[in-house]
Amino acid sequence: MGWPEVEDAQDLDTVNTVGRAYRYISPDGKRQDAATCYLHPLLDDGKHPNLHVLVESQATRILFDGNNKRAVRVEFRPNPAFGGDAAERSTVRARKLVVASSGACGTPSLLERSGVGDPEILQAAGVPLVASVPGVGDGYEDHHLSAYPYLNSLDAADTLDALIYGRMGSPEELIKAGHPMLGWNAQEVQGKVRPSDAEAAALGPQFKAAWDREFKDQPEKPMAVFTVIAGFSGDPTTVATGVPGLTMSTFTVYPFSRGHIHITGPQLDDPLDFETGFLADPGGLDVKKQMWAYKKQRELARRMPCYRGELAAGHPPFAPGSRAACVRLDDEDNGRLLPADAPDIEYAPEDDAVLEKWLRENVGTTWHSLGTCKMAPRDRGGVVDAGLGVYGVEGLRIADLSIVPRNVAANTNNTALAIGEKAADIFLGELGLSSK
């Protein structure tokens, strides 16, 4: 495919390369998360008596001083999902700051229930206006994900399927035994890729114009991320039990499409008006990215030594007589490897129509939601300023992925942690405190 292997494909410069996926597991073999790395040490060291963590609770709204619109209290309730009384309400008083950190889906809803947002949306939801900030809840972004399964010659132990589908015993037994598969996420190889100028031009004049504007002069900017997954990511009822899984996952990383998430009523349990906006950009550019990515990942899969054909249930239903139709290699084809210069599959206009329809019906989320409370000027849809302060009110800050103004070409966990650490520095400086 012309994509060389590099030691680390996760840097900010490498594009059209592939690299082995690193496994970020602690030295004792346990997975790490924000709670165990940031909160638990402070809760356990006996040196932070002013740190209190409420679990199984839900923030319902932020309350403001009526005179200067300063955030002064946070209202919360016990989570009814854990047996709490949904009608019960308690408040915590804030003398200095309230920091919202409920994520790209939770924070805009919290603000709107608190009276901060678009006046028309708040009026329709029956929430009194505290501050007009029209950008709250708009500009939702997520990476567009598609995953394609392949028939293969792998051994069952080469995939995570046995663990995922319960064929290895209970999780408790595996944890007690310290089974090494528990520290494996089945992500083996990853590559950040982009089309050539010629390939971009072939996607049409609108796409080429966007390519020239957004990508052409930024060679470090990928358009998609490919991941080889040792496992089956689809509906397990579509394959025979015990068949090893192999999946090519692709997500496009700088979407043009935008969605929104807004409240429809004043209560936490009122339904949300949530539109992902997936593949909904006016020019149809995002679906063209996915079409390009499908064709590229398929060529990559065809050139892998373990390839034995496509698992048709996870691919577009191309017509049987089409050159793009899924194949299943016979036993005598085992061990066959396509040469690097083998011609790519040809897709007729009818195939492209099938592919586009299938993508629109099957595109999924990467859980990389961001952008619903942007850091930007207020008149450009911004919700927070450079110090993470919410426009129109005092004493309220946001520290989560909702503040990100443009997408990042990566999984977003590290970005969320970086925002948290930078936010902590900002707040400590504002309050005249030290991090030590």
CA distance 314 to 83: 39
| Digit-coded pLDDT (tens) for 130-139 | 999 999 999 9
144 is in an annotated binding site: no
3-state secondary structure of 116: strand
> Can you read off the two tokens belonging to residue 245?
């899984």
Domain boundary among 365, 383, 408: 365
Tell me which of 138-152, 183-197, 233-247 is least confident.
Answer: 233-247
Nearest Cα to 139, choosing from 401, 410, 413?
401
**190 neighbors 226 (Cβ within 8 angstroms):** yes
Alpha carbon of 211 to those of 17, 41, 256: distances in Å?
Answer: 20, 47, 11
358 is in an annotated binding site: no
On whether both 218 and 347 belong to a single domain, the answer is yes
- Tell me if 267 is assigned to some domain: no
Catalytic site positions: 368
3-state secondary structure of 312: helix
Domain residue limits at 345: 17-29+144-255+282-365
On whether both 132 and 157 belong to a single domain, the answer is no
Per the structure, the count of domains in the chain is 2
- Tell me if 209 is assigned to some domain: yes
What per-residue confidence (pLDDT) applies to 24? 62
On whether both 327 and 374 belong to a single domain, the answer is no
CA distance 61 to 245: 45
**261 neighbors 273 (Cβ within 8 angstroms):** yes
CA distance 9 to 20: 8
Domain boundary among 329, 348, 365: 365
- Tell me if 263 is assigned to some domain: no
Domain boundary among 349, 365, 381: 365
On whether both 334 and 380 belong to a single domain, the answer is no
The CATH number of whichever domain residue 249 belongs to comes to: 3.30.410
The conformation of residue 333, written as its DSSP 8-state character, comes to: G
On whether both 383 and 359 belong to a single domain, the answer is no
| Digit-coded pLDDT (tens) for 366-404 | 999 999 999 999 999 999 999 999 999 999 999 999 999
pLDDT band at 163 (very low <50, low <70, confident <90, very high): confident
Query: What is the distance, to the nearest Å, from the Cα of residue 127 to the centroid of all Cα atoms in its chain?
Result: 30
pLDDT band at 320 (very low <50, low <70, confident <90, very high): very high
Q: What is the mean pLDDT of residues 75-80?
A: 97
Phi, psi angle pair for 369, to nearest 5°:
-70, 140
On whether both 136 and 148 belong to a single domain, the answer is no
β strands within 306-412, DSSP E: 307-310, 364-365, 396-398
* Sheet bearing 57-64, strands edge to edge: 57-64, 71-78, 90-93
- Tell me if 4 is assigned to some domain: no
